[in-house]
Amino acid sequence: MNLKELFMKFWKSEDSKISIIRDVVVALLAVFIILMFLWGYTGQWFAAPMVAIESGSMEHPNSPFGRLGTIDAGDMVLVQKVTKVSDVIPHGGTIKGAEAENGWQTYSDYGDVIIYKPLGRTDVSQIIHRAMCWVDVYQTNGETTYTIADYGIYNQTSLTIEHLGLYNRNPGWSHSGYLTKGDNNEIIDQITDICPEPVQLDWISGKARLEIPWLGAINLFFEDVLHGKNTIGNVHQDSLICLGIVIAILVSIPIILDVYDYLKKRKKNNIKNE
């Protein structure tokens, strides 16, 4: 018996033990294929290719039932690797950038959403916020100046940008990088305790790509159980309802298939007995 015949015998066997082994092999193969696709698309080889959203900082007001198209608590997003500054398209300002040029959009707003480690730390939760613009920070003769080309600001010692929550302020930043903000927040992270410095390239884990709605709530639930948190409380009721519907459908599929298989075999046996 050659390899092909052995495989066909294994594949078509109706033995219950072989059937279980076959189902496990198919499931593992499916998981491997999905992981290969995700790793290939995101470039995050043998690392977590997606993250679950814990908070509502990226939510948009008046979102429709199910909240598709935006990043909400309980969602999951793929994390596509970033290796250079040009990989990230920021929101931009009134002079240039994605908004001014009516250009690149993700998750119902202009520019890319990035996932980054605050101050490069690995002992705290990562932040997923929109890259608003790039700021160049210069130190000359003990004086710090800031240039944000997207807003037409060059070599200024204080900044006033209403859209970013800056009002006649010298933020005291020490290096260049991205200014970031949650779509549901009024001010940038860089004037809060979230991340008081511009985001450097090597702090960025990746940029958000695609939205897998609701399924992240499962991950949040187990994280809460293990670490005593309550992030699942941030997930909106409509998202939980949608998750329940998805789970019900997934659970019902194998049951329906088993019932169909049972009825098919019963019909076959009845025909034989006639």
In this predicted structure, the answer to whether residue 62 has a pLDDT above a threshold of 80 is yes
Please state, in angstroms and rounded to a whole number, the distance separating the CA atoms of residues 37 and 15.
Answer: 33
Asked whether residue 28 falls in the same domain as residue 147, the answer is: no
Asked whether residue 29 falls in the same domain as residue 107, the answer is: no
Per-residue pLDDT of 132-151, as tens digits, reads 999 999 998 889 999 999 99
Per-residue pLDDT of 82-138, as tens digits, reads 999 999 999 999 899 999 999 999 999 999 999 999 999 999 989 999 999 999 999
Asked whether residue 23 falls in the same domain as residue 151, the answer is: no
Residue 189 is predicted with a pLDDT of: 97
Asked whether residue 37 falls in the same domain as residue 113, the answer is: no
In a domain, 125, yes or no: yes
Asked whether residue 127 falls in the same domain as residue 191, the answer is: yes
In a domain, 51, yes or no: no
In a domain, 37, yes or no: yes
Domain that holds residue 15: 1-42
Please state, in angstroms and rounded to a whole number, the distance separating the CA atoms of residues 118 and 93.
Answer: 23
Asked whether residue 31 falls in the same domain as residue 127, the answer is: no
Asked whether residue 93 falls in the same domain as residue 152, the answer is: yes
In a domain, 3, yes or no: yes
Residue 230: pLDDT band with limits 50, 70, 90: confident
Asked whether residue 34 falls in the same domain as residue 95, the answer is: no
In a domain, 252, yes or no: no
Residue 228 is predicted with a pLDDT of: 85
> CB under 8 Å to 244, separation ≥6 — which residues?
none
Please state, in angstroms and rounded to a whole number, the distance separating the CA atoms of residues 129 and 108.
Answer: 13
Asked whether residue 122 falls in the same domain as residue 170, the answer is: yes
Report which of residues 47 and 69 the model is more confident about.
69
Please state, in angstroms and rounded to a whole number, the distance separating the CA atoms of residues 214 and 74.
Answer: 5
Per-residue pLDDT of 70-84, as tens digits, reads 999 999 999 999 999
Tokens encoding 135? 């700021």
In this predicted structure, the answer to whether residue 274 has a pLDDT above a threshold of 70 is no
Per-residue pLDDT of 26-36, as tens digits, reads 777 777 787 77
Residue 39 is predicted with a pLDDT of: 74
Q: Is the pTM of this model over 0.75?
A: yes
Please state, in angstroms and rounded to a whole number, the distance separating the CA atoms of residues 116 and 198.
Answer: 11
**Arithmetic mean of pLDDT over the chain:** 88
In a domain, 167, yes or no: yes
Asked whether residue 127 falls in the same domain as residue 23, the answer is: no
Please state, in angstroms and rounded to a whole number, the distance separating the CA atoms of residues 187 and 166.
Answer: 8
Phi–psi pair at 198, nearest 5 degrees: -55, 145
In a domain, 92, yes or no: yes
Asked whether residue 89 falls in the same domain as residue 199, the answer is: yes
In this predicted structure, the answer to whether residue 20 has a pLDDT above a threshold of 80 is no
Asked whether residue 34 falls in the same domain as residue 107, the answer is: no
Number of domains in the chain: 2
